[in-house]
Amino acid sequence: MGLTFYDCPPAPSPRRARIALLEKGAEFDTKIVNLAEGEHLCDAYKAINPTCTVPALTIDSGETIGDNHGIIAWLDAAYPENPLLGASPLEKAMVASWSARCEIEGLLAIAEIVRNFAPQMKGRALTGPVNYDQIPQLVERGVARLSHFWGVLDERLEGREFLATDSFSWADVTALVAVDFSKVARQRPGDEYTNLWRWRKSIDERPSVSATNVGAKV
């Protein structure tokens, strides 16, 4: 049956999974879900992924994994070489910790900004099948959170090639997508974050990253 990847380039969440698939060298078919036209909320896609989110990955058994956490867990188990979630117990812990920080303090802060001010997000302040109203006051909080996060990233990357361990990991993927997606929130990291930008330039050389840069790079 093979793998079928439900994608929407250059949206940030599917980009994370797409980078992981390319890193693993997995062969997969791609089906585009047009978020702008609301295809993710239609019955046809809801039957595939009831959470109405992208990405989703249908695996060989016919089951569908409907979120990034599940997708990367399956990929690292199914394609164990060059693990993205760490090799040793300590590496696994560091990748999990930094991935969580990058998602909560970075990506979710950006989502907090964008989903609470963008006119096209009116009534859609959260992902999923349920509609939620925007809360404009959350925009200011998201900006503050993101500003702090850039400093955290820059400090961690001082003297380091990668964020969590000595190898490229899921934490780097999450941080990368947060940095690039920040342009949508108009909160690009400042040039003073020299460690951050050195790291961003370095990982641009990875085929998995350069292949997904179109429309996404800051």
Give the C-alpha separation, 59 to 71, whole Å: 10
The verdict on 51 and 139 lying in the same domain is no
**185-207 per-position pLDDT tens digit:** 999 999 999 999 999 999 999 99
Q: How many domains does the chain have?
A: 2
Residue 8 lies in a domain: yes
Residue 180 lies in a domain: yes
The verdict on 188 and 97 lying in the same domain is yes
Percent of the residues in the chain that have a pLDDT greater than 90, as a whole number: 94
Identity at 46, one-letter amino acid code: K
Whether the ω angle into residue 55 lies within 30 degrees of 0, i.e. cis, is: yes
**134-171 per-position pLDDT tens digit:** 999 999 999 999 999 999 999 999 999 999 999 999 99
The verdict on 49 and 96 lying in the same domain is no
Which DSSP state fits 124?
B
The verdict on 183 and 128 lying in the same domain is yes
**92-136 per-position pLDDT tens digit:** 999 999 999 999 999 999 999 999 999 999 999 999 999 999 999
Give the C-alpha separation, 144 to 163, whole Å: 22
Residue 193 lies in a domain: yes
Residue 178 lies in a domain: yes
Give the C-alpha separation, 82 to 107, whole Å: 25
Reduced to 3 states, what is the DSSP secondary structure of residue 188?
coil
Residue pair 180/217 in contact by the 8 Å Cβ criterion: yes
Range of the domain at 190: 89-210
The verdict on 93 and 63 lying in the same domain is no
Of 29, 54, 78, the position where a domain reaches its end is: 78
The verdict on 67 and 99 lying in the same domain is no
Could you tell me the CATH number of the domain that includes residue 172? 1.20.1050.10
Could you tell me the CATH number of the domain that includes residue 45? 3.40.30.10
The verdict on 96 and 133 lying in the same domain is yes
Pairing status of strand 28-32 against strand 3-7 = parallel
Residue pair 78/72 in contact by the 8 Å Cβ criterion: no
